Structure 1
Amino acid sequence: MFSKVLVANRGEIAVRVMRACEELGVRTVAVYSEADKHGGHVRYADEAYNIGPARAADSYLDHEAVLDAAEKAGADAIHPGYGFLAENAEFAAKVDDRGFTWIGPDAQAMESLGEKTKARSLMQEADVPVVPGTTEPVTSVDEITDVAEEYGYPVAIKAEGGGGGRGLKVVHSEDEVEEQFETAQREGEAYFDNDSVYVEKYLEAPHHIEVQIIADHHGNVRHLGERDCSLQRRHQKVIEEAPSSILTDDLREQIGEAAKRGVDAANYTNAGTVEFLVEDGEFFFMEVNTRIQVEHTVTEQITGIDIVKWQLRIAADEELAFEQADVDIEGHAMEFRINAENPAKNFEPASGTLETYDPAGGIGVRIDDAIRQGDEIGGDYDSMIAKLIISAGDREECLTRSERALSEFEIEGFHTIIPFHRLMLTDEAFSNGEHTTNYLDEVLDHSRIEEAVSQWGPMNDGSETGEEDEEPTERDFTVEVNGKRFEVSLEEQGAPPITVESGNPGGNSGMARPPQAQTEDEEESVSVEGGDTVTAEMQGTILSVDVEEGDEVSPDDVVCVLEAMKMENDVVTERGGTVTQIMVGEGDSVDMGDVLVVLE
């Protein structure tokens, strides 16, 4: 087994991996950006290294920064978690070339299955049904319209390196093709460093079923049953469960064997997930996620198998210690993603201070998180702050236990999607397992979500601030020596509190600014020449500016696109006018309230 593992990720998944390492007697190394210097994964690790500013491309996605940290720490293996570099075959190859062990499938298998067109071709050769579409990337609008003419609209344009709904755009008519093609390419480049896309027939109301597999270096391949991930919002899973309630025993066996057959043909090792769409009793291969999944937890709950520990053991060349017949599925489990979002405002990302954090407990309750009360939740990364996993003897008991646990889960300081989860547990379609992938976006009455937020939302969403408590002020200072993080804590009676700006683009987030101090950039951002302003409603990064000075705009016109928590958000005007000033450019980081465009 390894002596020290660097976890190239953040948040709850980094802590999840570190906990598995600790139980195996392995020391852990965290990496963090400026925005995460007080992050839970940094607190948990045995040691931690700064790898750059808040922007993921300059920190968590920076290959050399991560590898340099591994060398400084003396790590002998790297676990990527999910997201960021987890499915990057180029990075996996670099890890091996630099003498570290990659905890995941090898680069060749990742390339074969991680790029969706190659995966579709391989699955066809392994006699696994695939959704009709292209098996090569498309490079023009005409190629997409050709597929649509053959199979009919809607079609899905998908980033070749994508996953989790990133870089997936649904096209319902020819006049949407060009815009959605460009957006899918842009998201693919931003999230996966790969702007290649392919196109396939879009199944409008399928069930999303995925099979967890695990394979060692000794020719053993096992599947650990299936998960139903059909409850999705804009192709993002929000509640997952296992096993699926819609599969017959025969179909369950067919899908499990197809998943094993497909990964075996790719010479795949370590953990992975084969995803299928099921409609009208037929199943179609969708993609392989060559990594651990967010929802791996529900599989662990119903099988008793620690998937992350097996990732580590397989990477250390251990052989699987169980046969397929030994995999017993017992009971039912559900995972609820606790996201910092306001469901009543179209799941708009939320941020603020975690004033109250009191998770649920009791029998059958598991919490995966990396936060604590008092933490600042920013908008630099994914909106998921914790996971609530419920297990019980059967689905009915799991539903009632979930209701109890969600009613206990208390978060104050900003909005979360807990009220939405509580609503779904009272929803007939979900309770009966009749929901499909389009249920949230196209079927559910969204006024019910607003009512749920009004009933169960936070008492304090951070919109009002009270007077500061006159208590001792705890000052946390971060000292870095050669990029390695050390902390010093001081407590001072009667001192003014220090305000630290999370994700400060200037790179000085560990320093307190003097009162009323202001940088030149800040002065410029608020020094506008009169007129109405269009401001940022959330913290994020400007992906594109869609207007120029002098342009005439109408109400609801898009002036720029803001990426926040891995979601693209159109910034629109409330009224018409003439653009007189543009305060931001592509790639700029902005905070909530920053002026983006001035209108006259």
Structure 2
Amino acid sequence: MFRSLLIANRGEIACRIMRTAQRMGIRCIAVFSEADANALHVALADEAYPIGAAPTRDSYLRAHRIIEVARTAGAEAIHPGYGFLSENADFAEACAAVGIAFVGPPPSAIRAMGSKAESKALMVAAGVPVVPGYHGEDQSEERLAAEAARIGFPVLIKASAGGGGKGMRPVHSAADFLDELAGARREARAAFGDDRVLLERYLQKPRHVEVQVFADRHGNTLHLHTRDCSVQRRHQKVLEEAPAPDLSPALRARLHDSAVAAARAVGYVNAGTVEFIVEGEDAFFMEMNTRLQVEHPVTEMVTGLDLVEWQLRVAAGEALPLTAAPEPRGHSVEVRLYAEDPAHDFRPSTGRLRHFGTPAASDDLRIETGVRSGDAITPHYDPMIAKIVAWGPDRPAALARLHAALLGTEVGGLATNLGFLARLAAHPAMRAAELDTGFLARHREALIPSPEAAPAEAVAAAAAMHLLWRWGEDAGAALRGGTASPWDRKDGWRLQGVAAVHLRLKDGAAIREVNVSLRRGAMSIAVDGGAAIDVAARWREGGASVSLGGVERRICYAQDNEVIEIGWRDDRFVFGLIDSYAPAGGEAAAEGRLSAPIPGRVVQVLVAAGDRVARGQVVAILEAMKTELRIAAPADGIVAHVGCAAGDSVEEGTEIVTLAPPDGDGSPP
């Protein structure tokens, strides 16, 4: 076995690999960018080395620098995790050239499966069914448009060189084909440096089912059962589970056999995942991921195996510990907690993670994360905060455990998909396993409800916590009967009578009026003229809690100057604190000014000054956090000014385009 291992990755997967390797007595070496100097994976490592600036091209994708660090540190092996260099055949060859083991498949297998077109041809030769489509070398617009017409709309455009939903676009009509093709090529070029695409028939209600495979250098190849990953947004997975529910025994056996055949067809070694599109009793090969998958914990939870340990042992030349898959035990479900805003098409969020707390890990709950309270979510990397993985003796029990864990998770400081995930885990259609890749679109209204005014209880809780925050610990202690001097208090204390505090909180477009009465350590709060309720607020380890009318509730609370954030049940509410004595003023941003929602790079500006635009028309495309964001006009108007150009790097709030309302003759005012 190896004595030292370099992990060429970051975040939760780097932490996951380290914990297994260190348990095996292996010295772990981390690499980090300037943005990750204080990251959790650096803190966990035995040694850590800087490798460059924050952008991935200047750090985690610098293969020569990572190998240089490995040689300096005496690493015997490199584990690439997933993403970055994990499916880079040249990197695997470079490791071998200097005598460092690459924890993954041979370069030949990476190359064979890295090209979707080549892998489809190999699967046809191996007898594995594939989706009808076009995988040819002629990449001209004319040929691709003709092939799309032959296949019949809707068709799916897919980047030939990649995965993770990048460069993937469904097209429903010939009129939209060339525009979507251009967008898919842009994404593919940015993500993989290769803009080749393939076309496939777009199935109407497909499930995304995958099979975990493992192979060693001694001729042993086996499957480790199925996973269902059908619940997706923008072709990226949201919820995964094992084993995949509601598959007939015959279909399940065919999937297992096809996956093993696919791995053997390319001489596969180590961990891999063969992905299928399933519709009814039909199953078609989609692609093979030649690495460990994000969702591997659900397989570990139902098999009792440590797949990272298996990876390390196989990379060291050992045979697989088993020759057949153990029977799955119970059911496991995983969700990906992201810094993103579901209400705005899952737009990534950036900022400081002011508070992050989860329930304690146990035999039936696993938390995998690479961040802590106080860490920053930057625009440079994937915005995943954590994976929350639950187990149960059956599927309903696993979903119930997951739902309880999500309700007990606290995130403060930036928008996340936490409430969305809690609603997803409890949704009747999820409980009924009515799964396909259109699940989220079909149930969008229930899973992402329209923003509503915060309930009075949440407003009262926010006001109570704000006062406790404003007064500070000493004043809060005095309010609760502590020994701090009354002369140091900031809560309006008086010898006789009732102290009153009036707060105005901005709740979306509404103004919430809050009246707080204080008498002898007791707090009573009335919201919007309603009945007053007794409230007590206190800090507690890892968070805060409020008592409303005698009912104690743990909450997530964060405040940054005049912005108050509270996690209430499965919702998050953000309030602006209004200074009643401040002079009135307009909004800071001029009406009609479209700005960058997060830092990123401008891919394309589609309008010029003087152009007339319609409501919903895309005026610019921004690339940030591995996602293309389309900036659209909120109303009809005239382009008054363009504040950037294609290729520009922009910060959050940078002007993209400013619109002016058209006057009677259609010209700018």
How high is the TM-score relative to the length of structure 2? 0.76
Q: Distance between the aligned counterparts of 1:407 and 1:452, measured in 2? A: 19
Q: In the alignment, is the contact (CA less than 8 A) between 1:138 and 1:199 conserved in 2? A: no
1:67 paired residue number = 67
Distance 1:346 1:468 in 2: 38
Aligned to 2:655: 595
Report the CA distance shift for 1:267/1:594 in structure 2 as closer, same or farther (over 3 A): same
- 1:139-538 equivalences in 2 (<5 Å): 139-324=139-324, 327-361=326-360, 362-441=362-441, 443-446=442-445, 448-450=447-449, 533-538=593-598
* 2:212–2:271 contact (8 Å) kept in structure 1: yes
Note if contact 2:606-2:619 (Cα within 8 Å) is conserved in structure 1.
yes
Residue of structure 1 aligned with 2:643, choices 554, 571, 582: 582
Shift of 1:585: 4.2
Distance 1:298 1:468, change over 3 A: farther
SS in 1 for 2:82: coil
2:629 pairs, out of 561, 564, 569, with 569
Match of 1:516 in 2: none
- Alignment CA distance shift 1:125-1:562 (3 Å): same
Q: Which amino acid aligns with 1:537?
A: P
Q: Which SS does the other structure have where 2:85 is aligned?
A: coil
How big is the shift at 1:551? 5.1
- How many percent identity over aligned positions? 42
SS of residue in 2 equivalent to 1:387 = strand
Task: Give the Cα separation in 1 of the matches to 2:352 and 2:299.
Answer: 32
How far the C-alpha of 1:134 sits from its partner, in A, is: 2.0
1:2 & 1:66 partners in 2: Cα distance?
18
For residue 574 of structure 2, what is the aligned residue in structure 1?
Answer: none
Given that 2:639 and 2:657 are in contact with CA atoms closer than 8 Å, whether structure 1 keeps it comes out as no
Q: 1:290 to 1:455 in 2, by over 3 A?
A: farther
Task: Note if contact 1:349-1:565 (Cα within 8 Å) is conserved in structure 2.
Answer: yes
1:545 maps to 2:545: no
Q: Aligned partners of 2:613 and 2:98: how far apart in 1?
A: 53
Paired residue secondary structure (2:134)? coil
Shift in Å, 1:199: 0.9
Post-superposition offset of 1:598 = 5.0
Aligned residues of 1:354 and 1:375 also touching (Cα < 8 A)? yes
- 1:284-315 deviation line (CA, Å, top 9, x unaligned): 11000000000001000000111111111111
Contact 1:165/1:234, CA 8 A, preserved across alignment: yes
- Residue 599 of structure 1, CA deviation: 5.5
What SS does the corresponding residue of 2:367 show, helix, strand or coil?
strand
CA separation in 2, counterparts of 1:19 and 1:543?
39
Q: Distance in 1 between matches of 2:99 and 2:256?
A: 35
Give the C-alpha shift of residue 579 in structure 1. Answer: 5.0
Q: Secondary structure at the match of 2:250?
A: helix
CA deviations on 1:341-380 (whole Å, 9 max, x unpaired) are 1222222212222222111234400001011111122222
Residue 231 and residue 578 in structure 1: after superposition, are their counterparts in 2 closer, same or farther (change >3 A)? closer
- How far apart are the structure 2 equivalents of 1:280 and 1:403? 29
Give the Cα separation in 1 of the matches to 2:398 and 2:367: 15
- Are the structure 2 counterparts of residues 58 and 408 from structure 1 closer, same or farther at C-alpha, using a change threshold of 3 Å? same
CA 1:236–1:553 in 2, change beyond 3 Å: closer, same or farther?
same
Shift of 1:81: 0.8
Summarize the Cα distance change of 1:468–1:318 in structure 2 as closer, same or farther, 3 Å threshold. farther
Other structure's SS at 2:385 match: strand
Structure 2, unmatched stretches of 5+, are: 475-589, 661-669
Change (3 A) 1:449 1:210: same
Which of 588, 610, 619 is the matching residue for 1:559?
619
* CA–CA separation in structure 1 for the residues paired with 2:38 and 2:127: 49
Tell me, yes or no, if the aligned pair for 1:104 and 1:291 is still in contact at 8 Å.
yes
**Cα contact 2:156–2:201 (8 A) shared by 1:** yes
In the TM superposition, 1:31-46 aligns within 5 A as 31-46=31-46
**Deviation per CA, 1:135-176, whole angstroms, max 9, x where unpaired?**
334512222233333231111111112112111111111121
Matched-pair contact (CA < 8 Å) for 2:607–2:639 = no
Q: 1:372 to 1:454 in 2, by over 3 A?
A: farther
Kindly indicate whether structure 1 or structure 2 has the higher relative contact order, using CA contacts under 8 Å at least 6 residues apart.
Answer: 1
Q: What does residue 484 of structure 1 align with?
A: none
Report the residue type matching 2:420 in the other structure. Answer: F
Query: Corresponding residue for 1:475?
Result: none
Of 282-291 and 82-91, the range deviating more from structure 2: 82-91
| CA shift for structure 1 position 263 | 0.7
Shift of 1:338: 0.6
Distance 1:259 1:378, change over 3 A: same
Partner of 1:505: none
Q: If you compute each CA radius of gyration, which structure gives the higher value, 1 or 2?
A: 2
Instruction: Using the TM superposition, give the Cα deviation of residue 548 of structure 1 relative to its aligned residue in structure 2, in angstroms.
Output: 4.6
Answer whether contact 1:114 1:161 (CA < 8 A) is retained. yes
Superimposed CA distance per residue, residues 266-285 of structure 1 (whole angstroms, 9 cap, x where no aligned partner): 10101000001111211111
1:186/1:445 CA distance change after superposition, 3 Å: closer
Q: Report the TM-score, using the length of structure 1 for normalisation.
A: 0.84
Question: Which residue does 1:105 correspond to in 2?
Answer: 105
Confirm or deny that 1:76 pairs with 2:76. Answer: yes
Question: In structure 2, how many angstroms separate the alpha carbons of the residues matched to 1:598 and 1:276?
Answer: 45
Query: d(CA) in 2 for partners of 1:209 and 1:191?
Result: 24
Q: Show the counterpart of 2:532.
A: none
Aligned-partner SS, 1:425:
helix
Instruction: Please report how far the alpha carbon of residue 25 of structure 1 lies from its aligned counterpart in structure 2 after TM superposition.
Output: 1.4
CA contact (8 A) 2:610 2:638 kept: no
Shift of 1:415: 2.0
- Determine the C-alpha separation between the residues in 1 that align with 2:454 and 2:89: 46
Q: Please give the alpha-carbon distance, in whole angstroms, between the structure 2 residues aligned to 1:167 and 1:367.
A: 30
The CA deviation string for residues 308-328 of structure 1, in whole angstroms up to 9 with x for no partner, is 11111111111112111x522
| Alpha-carbon distance in 2 for matches of 1:53, 1:596 | 26
Give 3-state SS (helix, strand or coil) of 1:297's partner.
helix
Q: The residue matched to 1:112 in structure 2 has which SS?
A: helix
How far residue 29 of structure 1 moved from its aligned partner, in angstroms, is 1.8
Q: Any stretches of 5+ residues in structure 1 without a counterpart?
A: 472-529
Q: Alpha carbon RMSD of aligned pairs, Å?
A: 2.6
| Aligned equivalent of 1:520 | none
Matched to 1:329, the amino acid is P
Q: Give the letter aligned to residue 69 of structure 1.
A: V
Which amino acid in the other structure matches residue 577 of structure 1?
I
User: Structure 2 CA distance, aligned partners of 1:541 and 1:30?
Assistant: 28
CA spacing shift, 1:50–1:407, aligned 2, 3 Å: same
Report the Cα distance in structure 2 between the residues aligned to 1:363 and 1:104, rounded to whole angstroms. 29
Deviation per CA, 1:416-465, whole angstroms, max 9, x where unpaired? Answer: 21211211223221111112111212x114254126998899998xxx99
Q: Which amino acid aligns with 2:644?
A: M
Q: For 1:255 and 1:373, locate their aligned partners in 2 and report how far apart those are by CA, in whole Å.
A: 42
In structure 1, how many angstroms separate the alpha carbons of the residues matched to 2:624 and 2:452? 22
Aligned to 1:513: none
Moved more, 390-399 or 412-421: 412-421
Cα separation, partners in 2 of 1:454 and 1:221, compared to 1, 3 Å: farther
**CA distance in structure 2 between the aligned counterparts of 1:553 and 1:367, rounded to whole angstroms:** 47
Could you tell me how far 1:58 is from its partner in structure 2?
2.2
- 1:485 corresponds to which residue? none
Q: Does the 8 Å contact 2:598/2:653 carry over to 1?
A: yes
Partner of 2:503: none
User: Residues of 2 paired with 1:453 and 1:252: CA distance?
Assistant: 44
Q: Is the 8 A contact 2:400 2:426 kept in 1?
A: no
